[in-house]
Each structure stands twice: as structure tokens, then as C-alpha cells.
Amino acid sequence: MAMNRRDTFKLAGAAAAAVAMPSIAIASEKKADVKKTNGRSVVIVGGGFGGLTMAKALRKKDKSIEVTVIEKNNIFMACPFSNTLLGGLDGVSLDTFVGDYYQPAAKYGYSFVQATVTAIDRKAKTVTTTNGDFAYDILVLSPGIAYDYEGQFPAWSKEKIAEVSQACPSALMPGNEHIALKRQLEDMDDGNVIIVPPAMGKYRCPPAPYERTAMVANYMKNEGINGKVIVLDTRNGKFAKGAAFKESWDELFPDIIEYKGLTEVTDIDVSAKTITYTEFADADDEKGVSKTEKYEVCNLIPINKCSPVIAMAGIEVNGAGYAMMDGYSFKSKTDSNIYVVGDAVTHAIPPSGQTAIWAANRAAGQIVAQINKQVSDPKEGLPARAANVCYSMVGSKPEEAIMVTHTFSADPSGKLKGKGHVPKPKDGGGKFRSKGTAKATREWFGGVMRELFS
């Protein structure tokens, strides 16, 4: 069952209630002094897959460690599998993706604080938030990503960026963006949906824009909406699970999906609902041809950059703001008391939900060893086979999916590196997609949510 307006109201109501509850805590905790640490205090910034996995793993490995999770959002919402909400797959609703932070905190014995981080003092080893200051012995940063509209569209004003970001929701970060994009699909008449993947650089969940392409086409096909899903890409077909996606698109939605692989978006007029872009004939074409397309729904996913929380810590970063790592570990290259997991690392491993879980469990072992003054080997257990398993739904009648697995290893360059493999399953009849893989997709996501929240 797809999300309906009642789901939207339910989430809005829950959000309003959750906002009201922590406001009481804000007033009282701001008056308190910073609690002194006992040498075994870990503060985690970010309550996504990496942060929650880290909190649970630390408490399970050593119950003497005090753990505090600081998260700006008041409701957990998962991004993996969320394109199925757009696709209108059976049994999928907002409830599928949300969780409350208090449940795992109570079960595993760590503290949860809903607050926004405003400063990090590495010398004093404190984190300043809108809900008070917190001292740490070890700090874990798992803050996720930010959008870089300014870098991609330097001529756009702040007002223009705000207008486009609301009218063409990116939906690569959990929350309101997904609800807005789903609402637009539900309200649309016949016409085109434009999907613009990030134009360059590292970005969260590399297959996500292409799974979304299949799921939106699936929705339009099942709802009888006349129009196309037009992908304005820069990668010319060279993207995650590319061959598997293209096989599925061509066979399941041949008259709906139109992929343009050499384009550059130059403008969006949200009032006229038009997008203007340059399309290049080939890689050597430097001039291209400017075109304007009318749309009913536009999903513009801008270039990603690292969350500004990493910069607050003053640790060494690369050009996009991602944290430089100490060899094969998840420790900052700059500060041995700061660890980084999730999207924010510079290891050459795909930024996915499963990778964040794998990294958090691995980093938790390194942190426990450091607190207990033991030596850990960051290369232990490498290469790690199937360290990342990433599924993508591509159809609903029958429900079918594709997948990729990654082996993570210690690369001679000094980083962790992932090598991917896109298999053709035994039940696929020679295709990349299969019903069995779709079943495994649902089982993986259900298992991950149970692992985090029950």
C-alpha cells in the first residue's frame, strides 16, 4: 500500500509531538554544568544507520562504556528501500521506514539527546548543542551529507536555491523531502517526471537515482499515467549496477524511461515547470545543444558534500569536506580520539546503509580496544567478503530486484577499498533481476530495522 494523505498527517502529528517533548529537556539541561567523563564516555553525533549501530555495538561489547547519541531529527526515517514508497509497492507505507529513538536507547542502555550540534572543542573534548554541552573521551562523527547547490549552480541566488529545493525535492536525505516527492507524484496529471542524479563526485547510495527511475516508472505504469521518466545524467550509462538497471528498464518500461547520459542542467523555472539543460552528442562535444523540457514532477539531486559537522571538529578533510582517515581504521587522521563512520569517511567504499553498519561495528571494536588500552589491528578480518550488499527494486508485477555485493580490502593506497560484483541470480533465467532477489530485498531491510529497533 502506498503512502496516502492520512500517512502524511500521521507523520506530521508524530513530529509535532516529538518536537514538544524534548523542548522540556532543553530548558533544564542548558542550566546544567558539563558532566565530567570517567575515561569511558563516548559521544556519537548522528542517529542514522551508522550512529545507532555504533551505540548498540559499544554497549554490547562493553557495558561499562557510557554512550550518548546526539541527533538533530526527532524521528528516525530510513533512506534504503524508500524508493519502494514512490513505486507504490504492496505493503509499503511510512510506518515501514520510521522508528522512535527512545526504544533502542532504553533497551541497550545508552542516552539519546535530540539536538543540533553547534560547535566541537577538541581541546576541551566537548560538543556544544542546542540542548547543552556534552563532554567526551571518544567522539564518533556520523553526521551524513549536505547538498551543494551553491557549488553546482553558482549563479543561483539563495532565494532561487530555496525555491528549487522545495519545488524539486532531492529526497536523498530522510524526512520531508520524501513525503513532498511522493505527494507530487500522487497529485500529478499526465506528463513527464524528470530525475537528475548528482552531476559529479561521491554521493550517498550510488544506485538510488536509478532505482528511483524504475520505481517512478512502475508507479506511472500501474496508475495509467501517460508520460515519461526522463533521466538527465552525466555518467553516460556508467553508474552503479548500470547493465542490470538498463536491462530492467528496457524490458519492463521500454516506452516510459528515457535516459540521457551526457547532459548538464543549467536552469529550472519552477513556475513554468520547465527544466533547461545542455545535451552533448559525445564526450568530445564541448558545445552541445540547449533544450528545455516541460515536467509535471522534477527530482533534482544536487552534488553532495559532507555534513558541516565534520568541519566543526577541525579535523583534516578532502576537498568535499569528507574526513581523512588514519590508515585502514575509522579513526580521524588528525585526532586519535575522534572516529568517523557513514558517508563522511574518505575510504574508497560505497556510501550505503549496509556499509555504515559494517563500518560502525568495525569501528566499535577499535574504540573498545582503545578505551581498554588494548592494541587493535585495522587490517584484521580483511578482505571482508559481502561487506556491502545493496539491493534495488526494479518492478512490482511480479516484484523483482537486482543486487550488488562488495568485498572490502586493505588497498595498497592506504585506504579501505571496495570491489563490486553484480550477479545474475539462479532464479533469474539469465537476467540480472529476479523474484528471489526481491524477496531478499525485503528480508534485508526488515532485518536491519529489527536489528536497530528491537
In order along its 454 residues, the chain shows pLDDT tens digits of 333 433 433 333 333 333 333 333 333 344 457 888 999 999 999 999 999 999 999 999 999 999 999 999 999 999 999 999 999 999 999 999 999 999 999 999 999 999 999 999 999 999 999 999 999 999 999 999 999 999 999 999 999 999 999 999 999 999 899 999 999 999 999 999 999 999 999 999 999 999 999 999 999 999 999 999 999 999 999 999 999 999 999 999 999 999 999 999 999 999 999 999 999 999 999 999 999 999 999 999 999 999 999 999 999 999 989 999 999 999 999 999 999 999 999 999 999 999 999 999 999 999 999 999 999 999 999 999 999 999 999 999 999 999 999 999 999 999 999 999 999 999 999 999 999 999 999 999 999 999 998 7
What integer pLDDT is reported at residue 33 of this predicted model? Answer: 73
C-beta of residue 201 within 8 angstroms of C-beta of residue 304: yes
pLDDT tens per residue across span 434-449? 999 999 999 999 999 9
Question: What residues contact residue 154 under an 8 Å CB cut-off, 6+ apart?
Answer: none
DSSP character string of 398-454: TEEEEEEEEEEEE-TTSSEEEEEE----GGGTTSS-BHHHHHHHHHHHHHHHHHHH-
Among candidate residues 28, 33, 108, the one with its CA nearest the CA of residue 67: 108
pTM above 0.75, yes or no: yes
Distance CA 10, CA 30 (A): 31
Say if residues 117 and 144 touch (Cβ distance below 8 Å). Answer: no
Can you give the pLDDT at residue 32? 54
Distance, in Å, from the CA atom of 398 to the CA atom of 159, rounded to the nearest integer, reads 44
For 223, residues 6+ apart whose C-beta sits below 8 A from its C-beta are: 88
What is the reported pLDDT for 23?
Answer: 33
| E strand intervals along 101-149 | 111-114, 117-121, 126-129, 132-135, 138-141, 145-147
| Measured distance CA(174)–CA(304) in Å, rounded | 14
CA distance 46 to 283: 40
| Burial tier of 31 (Cβ tally within 10 Å: 0-12, 13-18, 19+) | exposed
Please check whether residue 293 is in contact with residue 196, taking contact to mean a CB–CB distance below 8 angstroms.
no
Q: How many residues does the chain have?
A: 454
Is the Cβ–Cβ distance between 135 and 41 less than 8 Å? yes
The rounded distance, in Å, linking the Cα atoms of 355 and 349 is 8
Which grid cell is 374? 588494548
d(CA 246, CA 394): 10
Q: Which of 77, 133, 87 is nearest to 449 (CA)?
A: 77
Q: Cβ atoms within 10 A of the Cβ of 97, count?
A: 23
